[in-house]
Chains A and B, each alone.
Chain A
């Protein structure tokens, strides 16, 4: 990075409210006044090495048709790539598609990185082949919902509308 701008130029009149930075960092709903009806923004990502992205693409397109703004990042993403994309895009939802069986390794790394970067309030969902027995541990790691085979696009869309909190 080159030297950043003159920060002191921006400190004039800044708030000395003690909680304000912490509050927006935590995604506090109060940081930006009334909620708008803007689209919910969703990152659809495929962590790991399996090459089966048809499901992720169908879901991305389906959510587009449901009125979501969907960022699709493609195959073979590392947890770092996913966390970076989620942060730069300031998404409301991260949807992870995993068919390789590596979910117990990859998903907790994604949720940990999101939390470390101040995105702990993002709704994280997982889709793909996830054995029921792994559900509790994934939820413990911060996953809000798991969508298995047979889930419809409408079910996913309804769940996200009910549970994602759009950033103002």
Chain B
């Protein structure tokens, strides 16, 4: 890291924490771009982050995530708390471009310093978030926001990454999302702490919520019934709620449920969610550093050669990986 990067990082971090929104925005840009300034800033800021409640909002495209986030912002502000939003939309796999449209539903807070909204393009990352979403959330956390809402790209059945970064995961469903078998499939619904059936004014909302309750809550194994393996991970028993985000119906109740989940002792520095988040972050950085070392001019020709051998089926991928790791071990 250069002295310049360290200096910029120090200045930006200090200003962002003191409430300077431009500094915060610039810091987030550095984080998105994975620059040396971002790394230096995160090293400084990490110690003061960890106080915010990180809430993930995920669900299929068009289920109302952005509208729900907008309605939640209103509730949170009415309660006098500050809120930051990270809204992720997909990057084009073809051009790398992105259309970030989540702000359209969140425009009412232009002159409210207690609200900060940032769009992020997923930049090729496949889990529903951008590769730097967790780091961006840490910066917003350090900047003092009480609540951080992370809205994923529209998800399907298996983009569960947000659950690894959030203290509380909210999964949205629209009415008539499918039959009860959909509700007992593994994946997205399993990671929910709270399941929200949005568009509650549409026909079928009550029935969908009832089906979800029956399958996710009533039929989930109770503590002590997981048999002979007490350490086996237990399914969550999510709250199932109905909201109509467009009119804010049910949204105050949702905010209360978020607060209850946090207060339930499941969100603290030793909570499983935070351990998972920490582990994910550390391993992601390890992987990144290994890749960076292998891309180093000293190794890059060998690396490309090995990959070519694998592509030509002259070498199997396990042997290639072992040889590459051997290089990293050797410095």
- Partner-B contacts on A (CB < 8 A): 1-7, 9-11, 13-15, 17, 20-21, 24-25, 30-33, 36, 38-39, 60-61, 63-74, 77-78, 80-81, 83-85, 87-90, 117-119, 167-168
Q: Which 8 A-B pairs have the closest CB atoms?
A: A15-B7, A74-B104, A64-B97, A90-B25, A81-B110, A4-B144, A84-B110, A5-B48
Q: A38-B32, A81-B110, A84-B111 are in contact. Are A67 and B10 (CB under 8 A)?
A: no
A141 to B25, CA, bound (A): 25
User: Could you show 28 A-B contacts with beta carbons less than 8 Å apart?
Assistant: A4-B19, A4-B143, A7-B18, A14-B11, A14-B14, A20-B7, A24-B12, A24-B23, A31-B8, A32-B33, A38-B33, A60-B99, A61-B99, A63-B97, A64-B95, A65-B92, A65-B97, A68-B97, A72-B99, A72-B104, A73-B103, A73-B107, A74-B103, A74-B107, A85-B103, A88-B25, A88-B118, A89-B103
Neighbouring A residues of B45 by C-beta, 8 Å: 10
B10 to chain A, nearest CB (A): 4
Neighbouring B residues of A64 by C-beta, 8 Å: 92, 95, 97-99
Q: A30-B4, A72-B104, A88-B118 are in contact. Are A2 and B110 (CB under 8 A)?
A: no
Contact of A21 with B103 in the complex, beta carbons under 8 Å: no
| Partner among A5, A33, A85 whose Cβ is within 8 Å of the Cβ of B142 | A5
Contact of B92 with A33 in the complex, beta carbons under 8 Å: no
Q: A65-B95, A77-B107 are in contact. Are A31 and B82 (CB under 8 A)?
A: no
| Partner among A67, A85, A118 whose Cβ is within 8 Å of the Cβ of B97 | A67
Count of B residues near A, CB < 8 Å?
61
Q: How many A-B residue pairs have CB under 8 A?
A: 166
Q: A2-B81, A32-B30 are in contact. Are A25 and B101 (CB under 8 A)?
A: no
Which residues 25-42 of B have a CB within 8 angstroms of A? 25-26, 28-30, 32-33, 35-37
Q: A11-B14, A39-B121 are in contact. Are A69 and B107 (CB under 8 A)?
A: no
Neighbouring B residues of A9 by C-beta, 8 Å: 47-48
A118 to B5, CA, bound (A): 21
Q: Which residue of B lies closest to A75 (CB)?
A: B104
Neighbouring A residues of B116 by C-beta, 8 Å: 88
B79 to chain A, nearest CB (A): 11
Q: B235 contacts the other chain (Cβ, under 8 Å)?
A: no
Q: Which residue of A lies closest to B35 (CB)?
A: A32
A5 to B8, CA, bound (A): 19
A165 to chain B, nearest CB (A): 13
Contact of B48 with A70 in the complex, beta carbons under 8 Å: no
Neighbouring A residues of B252 by C-beta, 8 Å: none
A57 to chain B, nearest CB (A): 9
Q: A60-B99, A89-B119, A168-B30 are in contact. Are A21 and B15 (CB under 8 A)?
A: yes
Contact of B95 with A66 in the complex, beta carbons under 8 Å: yes
Neighbouring A residues of B82 by C-beta, 8 Å: 1-2
Beyond known contacts A10-B17, A30-B4: 15 more, CB 8 A cutoff: A1-B19, A1-B113, A5-B51, A7-B17, A10-B14, A21-B15, A32-B8, A33-B4, A39-B96, A60-B99, A67-B97, A72-B104, A87-B25, A88-B25, A90-B26
A62 to chain B, nearest CB (A): 9
Which residues 154-183 of B have a CB within 8 angstroms of A? none
Q: Which residue of A lies closest to B116 (CB)?
A: A88
